[in-house]
Amino acid sequence: MPAPRTAFLDLSALAPAKTRPALIDADLARFTAIAEAIDAQLTTLTAQRRDALSDTARTGRAAADRDQEVRRINSRIRILRDVGPQICLGRMDRTGREPVYIGRIGLSDDADRRLLVDWRTPAARPFFAATVADPMGLAGRRRFRWRDGRVIDYWDEALIPDAGTDPATMDAESAFIASLAASRSPRMPDVLATIRADQDAAVRAEARRPLIVEGGPGTGKTVVALHRAAYLLHADPTLNNRGGGVLLIGPHPGYLAYTADVLPDLGEDGARTATLADLLPQGPDARPEPDTRVAALKLDARMAGAVEPAVALYEEPPTDTLTVDTPWGEVAVTATVWAEAFGSVGPGTSHNEARDRIWHDLIDILVDHAQSLDAPEDRLRRALYGDEELREAFSRAWPILNPEELVADLWEVPAYLRRCAPWLTPDEAALLRRGPAHPWTTADLPLLDAATRRLGDRRAGAAARRRQAVLAEQRSYMDDVVTHILDADDDPDSSLAMLRGADLRQVLLDTDALDDGTTDPLAGPFAHIIVDEAQELADAQWQMLIRRCPSLSFTIVGDRAQARDGFPESWEERLGRLGFHDMSRVTLSVNYRTPSEVMEAAEPVIHAALPDAAVPTSVRSSGLPVRHGRIAHLDRIVAEWLDENPEGIAAVIGAPGFDGGPRVRALSPADVKGLEFDLVVIVDPEHFGDGITGAVDRYVAMTRTTSQLVILR
């Protein structure tokens, strides 16, 4: 029995002309089939998950594969259960052929009839990219607007003449504009069905070379960043977790909270999201650098060059000879021996991880040089390993280093900093001086990151020893099992003789079971990194990301006019000096978020500081002029808006600590990037500062609203 029309239509919201059976019943039948297929898939997936979770016998790679399968099933269950028929975005109409319905994920019924085509597939591209100038084989296109599992509106676009589209549904632009004005919530609204052709081109651009996506406020840069992450993970198998994965960098924690639901609702939860501060354990507690001059020095790309000479001081071989007494005679550890051992590791090997290798090589060299002692090699080796004086001398010559202590020494010991960073002037070096109790700042993070990479894991030696012990135990056990099998096999032509091969036994070792779970998931290397609000990154911060993606497969999303510290160069100039080349670019020029009344007020604010700033063109008007008032009226203005608007989110910018209730957020100008609100109240904007930083903060704050802006002085 067909589902009632009210199961999928909100008849009170739709215009009566749009509820006629001839216009919508085919879609309702498809929604019914989608709901039935979802129920069937949920039953199947739940059983598959139960079976996978009950399979506890797997170890190593097999266990990892099982866990990966459980994550995939959970992701699929989540979107099917949470989104339901709302998974359907719209349909593509083709002359004389069945319409094709587009979904957040692909979906088929039990008869293998394709109900939905995944939005990320090439077959779905015309739904987003087709225009009247280039219909891409479509006669028309229908988009659905959902709320709480029901269609509250839909609109059609005719892409060729005589497409047969009913005039009652031909309100594409007005319906689209209405959707932009919908009330906001604490989470980013769903915009997949309304992605425009210019945004879609950026989402689907190939990932082999760096892509720059530039656009002013409200042009959909964040939309592109998030949807590109989901698209790339689906479209490019080399970017999955086994291939390195995708990392999306946002500007602040509020951005990550605001966008948290987007990727799962797009059918993709394989991307990692983080801020720059999340990349290091010191990051969450790091404070802003109070002195802009100090910040500029620390964020200079050259500062990472101080790490190598700083570490090299701890890698210099001793020049004095050490004599080790053994039961068979003296063994001399000469300067030549020290140098040979210290030179045994190749360039690029991290300091702490090289330590065990050098120690073992030192013992090997000494054993080789002591052949004249006529000592049993194994006993001589044990004697050298156990010599306390030799161990202490080695530990002094090649100590385990801590990145925090290394960087702290640079800031606290002037002679050390002068030696490692000779390009600094005496005045600059004095500016960087700090005491031992000084907390870490955000400007310290790039140097801490460089030191962490150069030093490596302090636990590497112990981990390697544990690994070798486990492998030795596995080999011993396998040898016993193989010996038992071969002893019981009396067939001279048996294929079991292969088990005698050392190579086969090595393959059978369960090396994946040795993972102790301590690997940093944000250490990389990643196959692709997407950076939103990228105009804010200094060169040293870019270096942090390049270390995590040496292939330079990046999507760089930003607006130079919104850079708080200014951005006088081109993207190509700034990124080129960091090693990027062969970059492509997409420019977004239409402001879908900010009403024209607000942009008319915001444009002169940014042009006063940056006359050449590219300000996007707004496509809609809210009908609400920018209001001005007094700071003393802040409480009343917010309270009146809350009473008049039962839905929506407000932001008060420039009044720290303001408490307007759960639908009002008090934020600083730096913490609103990437966010949007129905009401924005700016308190005392002149106190945001002078010059470019102050102008950018005022411009960014003004352009966060989707409806109304109030400025209080």
Annotated binding-site positions for ATP: 215-222
- The residue count of the chain comes to 713
Sequence-distant (6+) residues with CB within 8 A of 137 are: 94, 126, 130
Extract the tokens encoding 289.
């650098």
d(CA 92, CA 126) in angstroms, rounded, equals 8
d(CA 84, CA 585) in angstroms, rounded, equals 36
d(CA 309, CA 297) in angstroms, rounded, equals 18
Extract the tokens encoding 292.
């802009």
Of the candidates 494, 553, 496, which has an alpha carbon nearest to the alpha carbon of residue 525?
A: 553
- Judged by DSSP in three states, 560 sits in helix
Extract the tokens encoding 85.
């028929």
d(CA 227, CA 203) in angstroms, rounded, equals 6
Q: Identity (one letter) of the amino acid at 305? A: G
CB atoms within 10 A of CB 21: 9
Cβ proximity of 362 and 345 under 8 Å: no
Backbone angles phi, psi at 68, to 5 degrees: -65, -40
Extract the tokens encoding 689.
């500062």
d(CA 83, CA 261) in angstroms, rounded, equals 12
User: Rounded to a whole number, what is the largest CA-CA distance in the chain?
Assistant: 103
Cβ proximity of 8 and 31 under 8 Å: yes
Residue numbering of the annotated binding site? 215-222
Cβ proximity of 527 and 246 under 8 Å: yes
Q: Which strand ranges, in their side-by-side order, compose the sheet holding 107-108?
A: 107-108, 114-118, 100-103, 88-93, 140-147, 150-158
**Strand ranges, E, within 534-583:** 554-558
d(CA 613, CA 703) in angstroms, rounded, equals 14
Cβ proximity of 331 and 364 under 8 Å: no
- Judged by DSSP in three states, 338 sits in helix
CB atoms within 10 A of CB 221: 25
| Bridge partners, residue 90, by sequence | 102, 143
CA angle in degrees (0–180, nearest 5) for 130-131-135 = 65
d(CA 129, CA 319) in angstroms, rounded, equals 69
Q: Which strand (E) or helix (H) includes residue 522?
A: none
d(CA 150, CA 145) in angstroms, rounded, equals 8
Q: Which strand (E) or helix (H) includes residue 405?
A: helix 403-412
Q: In b/e form, how buried is each residue of 628-659, taking b as 16+ CB within 10 angstroms?
A: eeeeeebeebbeebbeebeebbbbbbbbeebe
Backbone angles phi, psi at 630, to 5 degrees: -105, 145
